[in-house]
Structure 1
């Protein structure tokens, strides 16, 4: 049962890019729908568990959720410009590298020379893996890749801050869950008001994409329980299956084309990214 719980976030986060691509809409519709759907799950969790947090923890958690939206905007833009099968391994790899470095520099993780050596090797593996998944033979796809990366890479800072801020507070995952979802929704609403002048609220795709937000929220909640039942390292490692699901799904379900050479490099890159993430989890 514990392993089944651990598989929920892997499946949810892996399938979400495929579902959102099928539903369609612009990044602003996708972001707004995701934020609203996540808030619904957050409200349900708050009513069921009724955890209490102090004001400072609530604020930092909400701010964490707001920064998640920044990263998600970049990822959704990447789907539109580069496709899911290209965006996901790059985004995941850059997230893992950034959060690992922040953990070491700010929170003192990877104590000891051996841990730092293994961690550094893991980061190198993930960087090489990201580079491999970005290899393309087509000049048109190279142009799309360059265009997508100009948005994806800077906005990944949002994911880094989203992951780092909860480490600064002393509260359980369930306690900070609602304020994080609230922060996500508020930031998504502000983005929709600015980017679409409010028209995104009238688009059907915005409301349909609430399904993606609900899946994200349910997966995040399942991860909290998985970490408690299986341990953080095991729970985290299993979630890395999500990037494999989304990348392969982009090619098989969304029919995103890759040449034999691109496919070969992508698969090798995926292996390196997952291997690096496993290494960081086991020493973390």
Structure 2
């Protein structure tokens, strides 16, 4: 059951690129609209779940609020970069490349910094699984060498798209790892982190409310000062993309629940969440109509198989 819950983020997050493309608007409007939807979900979870179940000690804990808020700022950077990449590269290309970067960064950070891989055998098979997942994700994005050469404009778009993906990967890495890192460093006490009964459910669900505020504020900063699109922040595309935010928020809360669960852990939870690459890749092709050649479809099928194989391996490292 723990693994099934950990797969919910894959379904939700894999759908984000598809939903935001269907909703329309610019990358900035997608970023803002998504944070507005996430804010609605975050406040509902804070007052409808955390406060009645765990009390004000968790719902309004200043240290939890600081951790959640900063995590939300990192997320805003990651999401803005990802939406720019989706616009430049397409969902079926941007999604697997974004996935590859996140898997490598998050799993290694969780293993090396958070100490979740404790034996040489876990490291050996963990690194193999990362190579499989990352390699499979990259394979899904390979172009067909027989296709016509790209124009200079297309090359420029790809270059800016790849730059956005690098920024996005850094932002998402810190968003994922930051709550557990602060616990590891002692800023969040073990007593708070483990409630109730060692599951970590209280801490991780308490983060979601303040995190959503950090997401909104971070999105405003990114959109106004870096994307330079403050003049069209509140147009129709932004409000439509609130749906994207609600879809994302569903995956978010289950991601943090899984990361806090000792039976799953940070490295496994983040890796399983990235199986959304299958939803995003095939959804981009069959739902959004992004064109692929027969050769590319072969790459995609092989890549999807490697992603699933690597994810299965990494989700079972705790048994070694």
- Fold agreement, TM-score > 0.5: yes
- From 48, 53, 78, give the equivalent of 2:85: 78
Match of 1:140 in 2: 150
Instruction: Report deviation, 1:200.
Output: 2.7
Question: Which has the higher mean CA deviation after the structures are superposed, 164-173 or 154-163?
Answer: 164-173
Instruction: Rate the CA distance shift 1:229–1:94 in 2: closer, same or farther, 3 A.
Output: closer
Cα displacement string for residues 201-249 of structure 1 (whole angstroms, at most 9, x for unaligned residues)? 3311011111111121123224455678994268667644422111101
- Indicate if the aligned counterparts of 2:69 and 2:213 stay in contact, CA closer than 8 A: yes
Question: Where do residues 9-20 of structure 1 align in structure 2 (5 Å cutoff)?
Answer: 9-20=9-20
What secondary structure sits across from 1:25 in the alignment?
coil
Instruction: Rate the CA distance shift 1:31–1:140 in 2: closer, same or farther, 3 A.
Output: same
Instruction: Rate the CA distance shift 1:242–1:21 in 2: closer, same or farther, 3 A.
Output: same
Instruction: Rate the CA distance shift 1:262–1:147 in 2: closer, same or farther, 3 A.
Output: farther
Question: Which has the higher mean CA deviation after the structures are superposed, 25-34 or 8-17?
Answer: 8-17
- From 59, 62, 65, give the equivalent of 2:69: 62
Aligned residues: 284
TM-score, normalization by structure 1: 0.89
Instruction: Rate the CA distance shift 1:105–1:176 in 2: closer, same or farther, 3 A.
Output: same
Does residue 192 of the first structure (1) align with residue 223 of the second (2)? yes
- From 109, 123, 137, give the equivalent of 2:116: 109
Q: Structure 2 stretches of 5 or more lacking a match?
A: 52-57, 194-202
Instruction: Rate the CA distance shift 1:8–1:231 in 2: closer, same or farther, 3 A.
Output: same
Instruction: Rate the CA distance shift 1:241–1:129 in 2: closer, same or farther, 3 A.
Output: closer
- Indicate if the aligned counterparts of 1:9 and 1:239 stay in contact, CA closer than 8 A: yes
- Indicate if the aligned counterparts of 2:204 and 2:260 stay in contact, CA closer than 8 A: no
Distance of 2:125 and 2:12 partners within structure 1: 30
- From 206, 215, 218, give the equivalent of 2:238: 206
Does residue 128 of the first structure (1) align with residue 135 of the second (2)? yes
What secondary structure sits across from 1:257 in the alignment?
coil
What secondary structure sits across from 1:232 in the alignment?
coil
What secondary structure sits across from 2:253 in the alignment?
helix
- From 257, 261, 283, give the equivalent of 2:291: 257
Cα displacement string for residues 132-158 of structure 1 (whole angstroms, at most 9, x for unaligned residues)? 123112432872444421221233100
What secondary structure sits across from 1:255 in the alignment?
coil
**What is the RMSD computed on CA atoms of the aligned residues?**
2.6
- Indicate if the aligned counterparts of 1:122 and 1:280 stay in contact, CA closer than 8 A: yes
Q: Structure 1 stretches of 5 or more lacking a match?
A: none
Distance of 1:119 and 1:131 partners within structure 2: 18
Distance of 2:41 and 2:105 partners within structure 1: 28
Q: Higher helix fraction: Structure 1 or Structure 2?
A: 1
Instruction: Report deviation, 1:104.
Output: 2.5
Does residue 174 of the first structure (1) align with residue 181 of the second (2)? no
Instruction: Rate the CA distance shift 1:73–1:258 in 2: closer, same or farther, 3 A.
Output: same
Instruction: Report deviation, 1:268.
Output: 1.4
Match of 1:247 in 2: 281
